[in-house]
Amino acid sequence: MQFDIITLFPDFFTSPLQSGLLAKALERDIARVNLVNLRDFAHDKHRRVDDEPYGGGVGMLLKPEPIFEAIESLATLPPREILLMTPQGEPLNQALLKTWASSYQQLILICGHYEGVDERVCQHLVTREVSLGDFVLTCGEIPALAIINGVTRLLPGTVGKAESLKLESFEAGLLDYPQYTRPPVFRGWQVPPVLRSGNHQDIADWRYQQQLHRTKERRPDLWQKWLEEQD
């Protein structure tokens, strides 16, 4: 998987890409990350990539020319998606991550800044706008990093036990079940006896019921979707 990141702050990614599973995936060539400094495609000596919006308003917008030229400079590895990180995008979810991990060779991520980008970028270049949720961040690098992390861990060879991916939250449309480790009793709080019983079927049943209860209680939207999929 090739990730091309269009960013004003390439250094933002240095530490995360050198840590944990991401670092191992890059070392094994499971994933590749190319950091593209948007200012390298500016057209003036000050390397400006933003300007005032037509019609007035607060803040600045990223100009279209540097973004188009930055992406046009990249090698094309189809199938690919060109993603814009923006609060106006569709919410990121596990289904999207799985689609990218299984069906795409290249993800180009445009990290938004200021008040956003010129709409012509959205209309004529971007294939999908993506948001982490109904809140606003200072930069698009944070959701871009979330996508890199979420997709990479689904690529074969990144996570040691593929089975662990199948048991995570959202994989079956439900939240994960509660988990416990030693000691069996901590400050008077006991691990549920069923988990120490050694009966694998009872443990599986308990975990499934906990998933149902937790999803219904914490995420009624997911619960309703799961119910509809059972029909």
Known binding-site residues for S-adenosyl-L-methionine equal 112, 132-137
**How many H-runs (helices) and E-runs (strands) does the chain carry?**
9, 9
Known binding-site residues equal 112, 132-137
Give the 3-state secondary structure of residue 212.
helix
3-state secondary structure the chain: CEEEEEECCHHHHHHHHCCHHHHHHHHCCCCEEEEEEHHHHCCCCCCCCEECCCCCCCCCEECHHHHHHHHHCCCCCCCEEEEEEEEEEEECCHHHHHHHHHHCCEEEEEECCCCCECHHHHHHCCCEEEECCCCCCCCCHHHHHHHHHHHHCCCCCCCCCHHHHHCCCCCCCCCCCCCCCCCCEECCEECCHHHHCCCHHHHHHHHHHHHHHHHHHHCHHHHHHHHHHHC
